[in-house]
A = this chain, B = another copy of it.
Amino acid sequence: MEILVTNDDGWGAQGITVLAKIMTRLGHVTVVAPDGPRSSTSNAISMHTPMKLQRVDISQDDRFTDEEKAQMDVYITNGTPADCVKLALFVLHEEDNSRIDLMVSGINHGSNASINVVYSGTMGACFTGGEHSIRGIGFSIDDFKQPTDLSHFEPYILEITKHLIEQPWPVGMSYNVNAPLGEIKGIKWARQCRGHWCKEIEPRVNEKGETEYWLAGEFVNDEPEAEDTDQWAINNGYISIQPCTVDLTKHDML
């Protein structure tokens, strides 16, 4: 298999290192990742700025074994996660787009359950894959800290990936996989929980005496009693798997 790996936390993040290592067990890995943090960039693409694509020399990188290095090519870009997918498709695989059998994104540092999936650069990359008929899976851990403990999640990532790629895969679909911290009780198929953020803007006065606004806030679960949602799953010790679509039509309103 030819596997594209990307994320929105950048090549410097812990999560993408772990994910790339796991994927070398399934095939050849091409990493195309942002050169720094791009959290919450959704499906943004760089319409107004030129992108660079730079090969990374991992020969001296002791996070990877020699076997893993032999299975990996790594590139970074100033673009967004969605740009990473387009660069992989139209620069690295220009001659044959269909060479990419699978793309994975993450492991994101922070949950992409509930409304967060809409803002997620991790999942934005998968949706761009979906546009181009590439099967995509995004993995996220419900913890913003780095480094964090991912050892409990790692075997599940391998098994979930192997399982999903053997199933029927409608064009345009991606999977949004979220894991809790700590002991994992099992895996649940889940729909997106209704939720929203409150108190999202924090004003601060800068050195010049000007008011600046920073994003902050608290997540509010709008259906805390529902047990079939991704938010319920990760709150209760389960990995959630949400099948997602790039068709945003609300069909029942047509």
Contacts and interface: CB of A to CB of B under 8 A. Distances in A.
Interface in A154-198: 170-173, 176, 189-192, 194, 196-197
A247 B172 CA distance: 15
A40 B50 contact: no
Interface in A33-53: 37, 39-48, 50-53
From A42, A86, A251, residue with most partner B Cβ within 10 Å: A42
A11 interface: no
Contacts of A212: 50-52
A162 B183 CA distance: 52
Interface residues of A, number: 69
Interface string A70-92: 00000000001011001101110
Q: How many of these chains are in the complex?
A: 2
A249 B201 contact: no
Contact of A242 (B44, B91, B203, B249): B249
Given A91-B213, A189-B254, A248 B50 contact: no
Contact of A249 (B80, B86, B87, B243): B243
A46 B248 contact: no
Interface string A210-226: 11111100000000000
Interface of A: 37, 39-48, 50-53, 80, 82-83, 86-87, 89-91, 115, 117-119, 121, 124, 127, 131-133, 170-173, 176, 189-192, 194, 196-197, 199-201, 203-204, 206, 210-215, 242-251, 253-254
